[in-house]
Structures are given as structure tokens and as C-alpha cells.
Amino acid sequence: MMHVGKAELAAAVSNAGGLGILTALTQPTPDHLRQEIRRCREMTKKPFAVNLTLLPSIKPPDYPAYCKAIIDEGIKIVETAGNNPGPIIRSLKEAGIYVIHKCVSIRHALSAQKLGVDCLSIDGFECAGHPDDIGGLVLLAKAAKSLKIPYVASGGFGDGRGLAAALALGAQGVNMGTRMMCTKEAPIHHSIKEAMVQATERDTTLMLRTFRNSSRMYKNSVVTEVVKIENRPGGAKFEDVRELVAGSRGVNVFVTGDKEAGVWTAGQVLGLIDDIPSCEELLRRIEKEAEDIIGGMARMIPALSSRL
């Protein structure tokens, strides 16, 4: 949710009964993050979290300084993700913060569990951003067998059917990114939201696989060019695609509404998005759909038993 997880969206999600999340690295400096946290508090009295993701980047940020800003501002819930999270997680736990760590494999989830995180976000192949190669159905069922702490399901969720399925697979709830981008409160250009409504589940692709940094993106001309360069005979160096994948170009997508201006993340849940509701409307609808589905399944049990 880089460049999307701002105060407007986080506050709207929390006010609607979800857990809104600010993305720390959307802010250019730790001081800007402090200001964004304070701005979010002006918009909601409900709990909200901050995400801090540690991933390879052209210009690595000052992660300890961002972590200090989060702690100093009194944030109670943090979502972490990425490489070598141990030092950051330890700092957060020492400050009494509830830590949710995002994982794309059970191996990494077990390691995070040993580090003392409180909850895990299990991300399937369907997710936007940086997936592994295992789909959510298998990954979540494996999590139920392997983990001793709570987890939420992430990747491919956008309606009540997905929520009901996630609960059946042992998750405590769902984590939605792409679906929340396509809401009235999401701080991105309306033309991008319209492009998401028109897209299908086939309109994403993986890039940077050859650099061991797989990223699921909306399939546009820029991403297609990156993949073409990666697959050329003899391979490619990161310098060959650096300009194409620059974060500054991705920001321009959301500001100008030009879906071809740069690379931007989107999950396969695009195929389930057909409107642009408010966060309140979306969460109430998902809850109602899930309740109806779970209730219908409960009514099936006596009928099935009578046939045995």
C-alpha cells in the first residue's frame, strides 16, 4: 500500500470498524510519519496501526528512525514485513507494541513466531506486492496446522465469500490492500480506481523474479517492458530496469491517473472488484455476505446428517 496508506484511508477503515493501517515508508522522513500519525488521530478516535516494511530498495530508508517515530508517537499496533525484521520487532516488543508480521511462507511464519510476534498475516500467491509461489488455500490450511499464534489471511480477499473461507481455514480475519485501494476514501486518482474496476484477475503479473524480489503489479506497458528485459538472452542487471521501476514513477500513477506512468501494485483480487464503495459500505457488505454464507452452511449440517 505504498503511496496509498495515508491518514484519509486508515481513518476511514478504522471508523468503519476495521483496523486502518498507515504505511510508514509512504512518508519521506520519520518526521513526516509523526505528522501523518497525528493527522490520522484527528480523523479517528479508533485504533489504527502502522506498517513498516523492510525490503530491498534503491535508497534504503532509516528504519530505526522510523521505528523510533512509531514508538514515540504511542502507536499500539504495528504490522512488520520483509527481510531481517528481528531488531525492529525486538524494539517494538520492548515498547509494549502488538506486532503483526506479514509472511509469505510457513517457514518465515515460524521464525517470526519464535521472535515473539503477537499475530501473523499469511500472504498467498494472489497478493499484491511481494508474494511467494504458494496459493492462499494451501498456505492458510498449513498455517492452521503449524502455528500457535493467531493469524489473518491476506491475498485475494475482497468480499464475504473470501472472509467466510478464511475463517473456515483458521484465520481470525482478512487483510485487504487492493480492495481498499478501490474505495471512495483511498487517496489515489479516480481514473486508477476506474481502471481497477475494469480489470480482471488476469491483469496482474510478476516482475523482478530474476532479481529474487518478485513483485505482483498491475499489468501495463512499463511492467511488460521490465519483464521483457528480465527475460532477454543473457539476463539483465538491475541497472537495466532501475528507471522503469523507480518509486517516483509509481507515485505519478496515483497523482495523475495515468495507469501507464509507472509500476504499481495490485493483486489478483482485481477480478472481484466491480465498484467503488465507501469503506463503511464495503465492510458492512462483506460482513453481511459472510454472515449469510456461514449461516447457510450451518443450516446444511442437519440436512446432511439426515441423509446419513
Q: Tell me if 220 sits within 8 A of 226, measured CB to CB.
A: no
pLDDT at residue 302, rounded to an integer: 76
pLDDT at residue 14, rounded to an integer: 99
pLDDT at residue 189, rounded to an integer: 98
Q: How far is CA 161 from the centre of its chain?
A: 19
**Position 306 in a domain:** no
Q: Collect the ranges in the chain with pLDDT lower than 70.
A: 56, 58, 303-308
Looking at 133, 155, 187, the residue that finishes a domain is 187
Q: Which three cell numbers stand for residue 24?
A: 510508514
Total tally of structural domains belonging to the chain: 2
Shared domain check, 218 and 80: no
Nearest to 194 by CA among 202, 205, 184, 209: 184
Q: Which tens digit of pLDDT belongs to each residue from 100-112?
A: 999 999 999 999 9
Shared domain check, 144 and 12: yes
**Position 23 in a domain:** yes
pLDDT at residue 304, rounded to an integer: 63
pLDDT at residue 55, rounded to an integer: 80
Shared domain check, 114 and 255: no
Q: Which tens digit of pLDDT belongs to each residue from 161-184?
A: 999 999 999 999 999 999 999 999
End-to-end CA distance of the chain: 49
pTM of the model: 0.93
Shared domain check, 256 and 199: yes
pLDDT at residue 298, rounded to an integer: 82
**Position 172 in a domain:** yes
Shared domain check, 87 and 117: yes
Shared domain check, 22 and 161: yes
CATH number at residue 71: 3.20.20.70
Looking at 187, 220, 251, the residue that finishes a domain is 187
Q: Tell me if 1 sits within 8 A of 24, measured CB to CB.
A: no
**Position 244 in a domain:** yes
**Position 298 in a domain:** no
Shared domain check, 113 and 150: yes
Helix (H) or strand (E) segment spanning residue 216: strand 215-218
Q: How far apart (Å, rounded) are the C-alpha atoms in residues 114 and 14?
A: 29
Shared domain check, 75 and 216: no
Shared domain check, 168 and 27: yes
Q: Which domain holds residue 259?
A: 190-269
**Position 292 in a domain:** no
List Cβ neighbours of 225 (8 Å cut-off, separation of 6 or more): 244
Shared domain check, 256 and 111: no
Q: How far apart (Å, rounded) are the C-alpha atoms in residues 286 and 299?
A: 20
Shared domain check, 166 and 22: yes
Q: How far apart (Å, rounded) are the C-alpha atoms in residues 273 and 250?
A: 21
Shared domain check, 180 and 194: no
